[in-house]
């Protein structure tokens, strides 16, 4: 890979870069006069028609570094392709970044006759199919939805003149390498390739070696470094107190616009709900949110209606918010490079910003990895004015009064019913005609003067009661002679109901050789 680096002059202006007049007019309308270092170095290389591999800190204007020159190259030759046959393809990893890039294309190409379109998933595909039936020059897309259209043959990529891979490192991290290779197989062999990224891992350079042909190389800052305009601090706080501490920081510092990063989608939802309950307007954006909800939350956050936006790494990648003052890492990312992207949402275009990280003891190892990556130690700042509220114990209600002491219940003796056993415990007459104190009693089983009761009827009642208690209990042989026929039948094991009788099996007759044995019903 060849390397070509152009020295940036401090007095360089956009008019010195050889861009077309309509583009310069759009740049002036946007309020820009001097290019950033990445723009000043990348634009001449792209205008020369060669491949390029460019990297810079996030927020330094690398999107305009490829948008401006490709607009110039496309407007030079007025070619009318077939409907659904774009001339330039820009691939991005996320929907938000795709929308952001397409917005830049419209901003800088508003005085040109070029047309553009953004394409991503999460929305209906039919409106995109209808748009592809018209001519299009620049297509900004995510790999997944682009392949959906290619499978349905609603798009033709055989006329692509310029290919741009934006945030290539993120696309590799998200597992898009196979999708990228499938897209590359649909493109013509002869084309201009541009690879832009905020960070350069070794895997990115391996991809560049297989994709780019004798490219120029631009890297205006040391690899994987954070902007010096961002003030970075760390607060050591336990995980259980982070949500409470987050609300304290917002109130104490009177933050009007803060972007908070969480590690998971569920964590983003919980934090947004907690802040809303504390009277701080907040919304969460992540991959499970609908595209309309994500777009509305981002629009409200940009115009200041929504002071707090909670996002995951993927959803927030490519967010470009002018003069965003504050970024908070509610949880440190697992990948140290993501920390550079997170805090790169602030301190953009020469503005200053601040990045605060809330670190639990279990995240100290992640913090050390981030400090090794950026080659600097992030200062720890003590927490002032915050007294964490201890979580209520499990006894949120008044303690229950202790239960009265209960005597252990002895099991009924063999052959004794539950009712007789209860009577023995409560002092009522028991089975043997004795009360709890052991004195004899006058019961129904004993003949009172002038009254006789058949003993068989009493035993019949006892047997029925015992059968209800446990039909499978083994009865004494002495009692069997007093059981009635019905009680004796009830004590016998019963066969299951609704069981069809099995037909008798016929024996095989060896004398009848011409027939097969009947093995029963099948």
pLDDT tens for 258-314 read 999 999 999 999 999 999 999 999 999 887 888 788 888 888 888 889 999 999 876
Within this chain, do residues 55 and 138 fall inside the same structural domain, yes or no?
yes
pLDDT at position 506: 63
Confidence band of 393 (pLDDT split at 50, 70, 90)? very low
pTM for the whole structure: 0.60
Domain count, the chain: 2
Cβ contacts of 349 within 8 Å, gap of 6 or more: 36, 59, 60, 61, 322
pLDDT at position 79: 80
- Is 1 inside a domain boundary? no
- Is 389 inside a domain boundary? no
pLDDT at position 327: 93
Instruction: Give 87 or 229, the one with higher predicted confidence.
Output: 87
Arithmetic mean of pLDDT, 141-160: 94
Residue 475 pLDDT exceeds 50: no
Instruction: Give 80 or 257, the one with higher predicted confidence.
Output: 257
Within this chain, do residues 108 and 165 fall inside the same structural domain, yes or no?
yes
Residue 88 pLDDT exceeds 70: yes
pLDDT at position 78: 76
Cβ contacts of 452 within 8 Å, gap of 6 or more: none
Of 219, 243, 276, the domain-final residue: 219
pLDDT at position 7: 36
Within this chain, do residues 172 and 194 fall inside the same structural domain, yes or no?
yes
Residue 112 pLDDT exceeds 50: yes
- Is 461 inside a domain boundary? no
Do residues 146 and 92 touch, judged by C-beta distance below 8 A? Answer: no
Lowest-confidence region among 128-137, 288-297, 429-438: 429-438
Within this chain, do residues 276 and 178 fall inside the same structural domain, yes or no?
no
- Is 475 inside a domain boundary? no
- Is 258 inside a domain boundary? yes
Chain mean position to CA 160: 35
Within this chain, do residues 281 and 176 fall inside the same structural domain, yes or no?
no
3-state secondary structure of 221: coil
Within this chain, do residues 161 and 254 fall inside the same structural domain, yes or no?
no
Within this chain, do residues 212 and 239 fall inside the same structural domain, yes or no?
no
Confidence band of 81 (pLDDT split at 50, 70, 90)? confident
Residue 468 pLDDT exceeds 60: no
pLDDT tens digits, 46-59:
999 999 988 766 66
Arithmetic mean of pLDDT, 201-213: 79
Arithmetic mean of pLDDT, 160-174: 85
Within this chain, do residues 120 and 249 fall inside the same structural domain, yes or no?
no
Report long-range pairs for 389-397 (Cβ below 8 Å, ≥24 apart). 389/244, 391/240
pLDDT tens digits, 25-79:
999 998 888 898 889 999 999 999 999 988 766 667 888 999 999 999 999 887 8
Of 359, 374, 389, the domain-final residue: 374
Write out the residue range of the structural domain in which residue 25 sits: 14-219
- Is 491 inside a domain boundary? no
CA distance 160 to 190: 9
Q: In this structure, what token pair is assigned to residue 449?
A: 């003067």
Do residues 283 and 300 touch, judged by C-beta distance below 8 A? Answer: yes
Lowest-confidence region among 52-56, 62-66, 155-159, 365-369: 52-56
Instruction: Give 173 or 91, the one with higher predicted confidence.
Output: 91
pLDDT at position 490: 61
- Is 387 inside a domain boundary? no
Q: Which domain CATH number covers 40?
A: 3.40.50.300
Of 349, 374, 399, the domain-final residue: 374
Lowest-confidence region among 19-23, 210-214, 358-362, 457-461: 457-461
Within this chain, do residues 180 and 311 fall inside the same structural domain, yes or no?
no
Instruction: Give 471 or 488, the one with higher predicted confidence.
Output: 488
Within this chain, do residues 260 and 315 fall inside the same structural domain, yes or no?
yes
- Is 269 inside a domain boundary? yes
pLDDT at position 288: 83
Within this chain, do residues 187 and 288 fall inside the same structural domain, yes or no?
no
Within this chain, do residues 110 and 243 fall inside the same structural domain, yes or no?
no
pLDDT at position 476: 47
């Amino acid at each position: 890979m060849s390397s070509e680096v152009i020295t940036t002059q401090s007095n360089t202006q956009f008019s010195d870069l050889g861009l077309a007049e309509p583009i310069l007019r759009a740049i002036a309308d946007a309020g820009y006069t001097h290019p950033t270092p990445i723009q000043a170095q990348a634009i001449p290389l792209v205008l020369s028609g060669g491949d390029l591999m460019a990297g810079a800190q996030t927020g330094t204007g690398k999107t305009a570094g490829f948008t401006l020159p490709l607009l110039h190259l496309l407007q030079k030759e007025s070619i009318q392709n077939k409907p659904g046959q774009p001339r330039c393809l820009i691939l991005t990893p996320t929907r938000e970044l795709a929308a952001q890039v397409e917005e830049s294309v419209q901003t800088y190409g508003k005085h040109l006759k070029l047309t553009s379109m953004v394409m991503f998933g999460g929305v209906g595909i039919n409106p995109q199919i209808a748009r592809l039936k018209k001519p299009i020059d620049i297509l900004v897309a995510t790999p997944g939805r682009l392949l959906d259209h290619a499978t349905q043959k609603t798009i033709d990529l055989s006329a692509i003149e310029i290919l741009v891979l934006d945030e290539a490192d993120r696309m590799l991290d998200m597992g898009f390498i196979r999708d990228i290779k499938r897209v590359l197989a649909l493109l013509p062999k002869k084309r201009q390739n541009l690879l832009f990224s905020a960070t350069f891992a070794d895997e990115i350079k391996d991809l560049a070696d297989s994709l780019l042909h004798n490219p120029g190389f631009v890297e205006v800052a040391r690899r994987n470094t954070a902007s010096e305009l961002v003030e970075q601090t760390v607060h050591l706080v336990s995980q259980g107190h982070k949500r409470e501490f987050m609300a304290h920081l917002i109130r104490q510092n009177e933050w009007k616009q803060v972007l908070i990063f969480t590690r998971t989608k569920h964590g983003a939802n919980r934090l947004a709900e907690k802040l809303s309950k504390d009277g701080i307007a907040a919304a969460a954006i992540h991959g499970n949110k609908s595209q309309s909800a994500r777009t509305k939350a981002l629009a409200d956050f940009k115009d200041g209606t929504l002071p707090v936006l909670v996002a995951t790494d993927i959803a927030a990648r490519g967010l470009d918010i002018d003069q965003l003052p504050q970024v908070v890492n509610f949880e440190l990312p697992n990948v140290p490079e993501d920390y550079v992207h997170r805090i790169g949402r602030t301190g953009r275009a020469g503005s200053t910003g601040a990045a605060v990280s809330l670190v639990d003891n279990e995240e100290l190892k992640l913090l050390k990895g981030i400090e090794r990556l950026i080659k600097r130690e992030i200062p720890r700042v003590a927490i002032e004015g915050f007294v964490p509220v201890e979580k209520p114990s499990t006894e949120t209600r008044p303690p229950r009064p202790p239960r009265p002491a209960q005597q252990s219940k002895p099991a009924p003796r063999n052959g004794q019913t539950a009712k007789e056993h209860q009577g023995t415990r409560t002092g009522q007459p028991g089975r043997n005609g004795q009360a709890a104190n052991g004195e004899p009693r006058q019961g129904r089983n004993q003949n009172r003067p002038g009254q006789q009761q058949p003993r068989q009827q009493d035993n019949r009642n006892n047997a029925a009661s015992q059968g209800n208690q446990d039909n499978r209990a083994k009865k004494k042989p002495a009692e069997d002679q007093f059981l009635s026929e019905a009680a004796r039948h009830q004590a016998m094991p019963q066969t299951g109901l609704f069981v069809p009788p099995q037909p008798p099996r016929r024996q095989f007759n060896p004398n009848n050789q011409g027939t097969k044995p009947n093995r029963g019903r099948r």
